[in-house]
Amino acid sequence: MRIVVLVKEVPDTYGERTLSLETGLAERTSSNVADEIGERALEVALTYADAHEGTEVHVLTVAPDGATATVRKCLAMGAGAATHVVDDGLVGADLGLTAEVIAAALGKVGYDVVIAGNQSTDGMGGVLPAMLAELLGVPNLTNLADVTLGETEVGGTRVTDDATVRVQADLPAVVSITEALPDARFPNFKGIIAAKKKPLDVLTLADLGIDAEDLSTARSIMLAVEARPPRAAGVTITDDGDAGVRLAAFLAENHLI
């Protein structure tokens, strides 16, 4: 069994996140971290591997060159190997292009199941796993609150506002999880030392057979970007006997009821 986990490096969620008003891209400083939902996905894979000898857990990321530390952390947590796709032609890549690159990388890595988070904390697109499954031509189980992995199938529970649904698909498949899954384990000292010797392959677009010159066409184009307006002061309602009526009127005026 080979499990490939998709991990993304994102700006630290505890810090202030801003967009460049020139490029429209997120400002990525030195305070970048592995996305928590990706670490939870890795925990799902590692938990299965702990109980099933011979399972291979492989981390895959598409990220700038500086994301090596994030990848090494995943290896220290217990992943056996990693692939890091790095190329200047991917700066500002949209979800469609990113999915194509990941699909090409998976063709080199090989997989039985791909596990990803349901959405990243920076872009929050929430559609990349579905795009990836479509490109690979495999089933896609989305937004799972738990994962049951077998030798030939994968299943889980999807919780919605209206129902709880049990889903299952044959392998190979792409799975996305929610924050209902457990927190990731912390790397221990032994894992940190071992991570330095684990294989980390760095690939470019050329290695994947993708021509960077073709990336400028048929892609989403940003037309405008502007700073978020400052938050306005709130409305204070003092109870002079008619606070309930005034509150209801405020809510109705703002289409909140």
Position 33 in a domain: yes
Of 17-26, 175-184, 243-252, least confident by mean pLDDT is: 17-26
Position 64 in a domain: yes
Phi/psi-derived region of residue 241, left when phi > 0, alpha when psi is between -120 and 50, beta in every other case? left
Instruction: Give me the pLDDT at residue 30, please.
Output: 61
Q: For 135-151, how does the pLDDT look when each residue is reduced to its tens digit (9 = 90+)?
A: 999 999 999 999 999 99
The pLDDT confidence band at residue 131, using thresholds 50, 70 and 90, is: very high
Position 255 in a domain: no
Instruction: Give me the pLDDT at residue 32, please.
Output: 82
Instruction: Give me the pLDDT at residue 34, please.
Output: 86
Position 234 in a domain: no
Nearest to 86 by CA among 33, 193, 9: 9
Q: What range defines the domain where residue 34 resides?
A: 2-216
60/190 Cα distance (integer angstroms): 22
CATH of the domain at 167: 3.40.50.620
179-to-3, 40, 50, 159, 201 alpha-carbon distances in Å? 19, 7, 21, 12, 29
Position 210 in a domain: yes
30/53 Cα distance (integer angstroms): 37
**What mean pLDDT is predicted for residues 68-79?**
93
Nearest to 8 by CA among 116, 141, 155, 160: 116
Position 155 in a domain: yes
- The backbone torsions φ and ψ at residue 58, rounded to the nearest 5 degrees and listed phi first, read -120, 130
Instruction: Give me the pLDDT at residue 211, please.
Output: 76
Of 2-11, 132-141, 232-241, least confident by mean pLDDT is: 232-241
- The backbone torsions φ and ψ at residue 96, rounded to the nearest 5 degrees and listed phi first, read -60, -45
Position 109 in a domain: yes
The continuous run of DSSP H or E covering 165 comes out as strand 164-170
What's the mean per-residue pLDDT of the chain? Answer: 88
Question: Considering its fold, how many domains does the chain have in total?
Answer: 1
Position 191 in a domain: yes
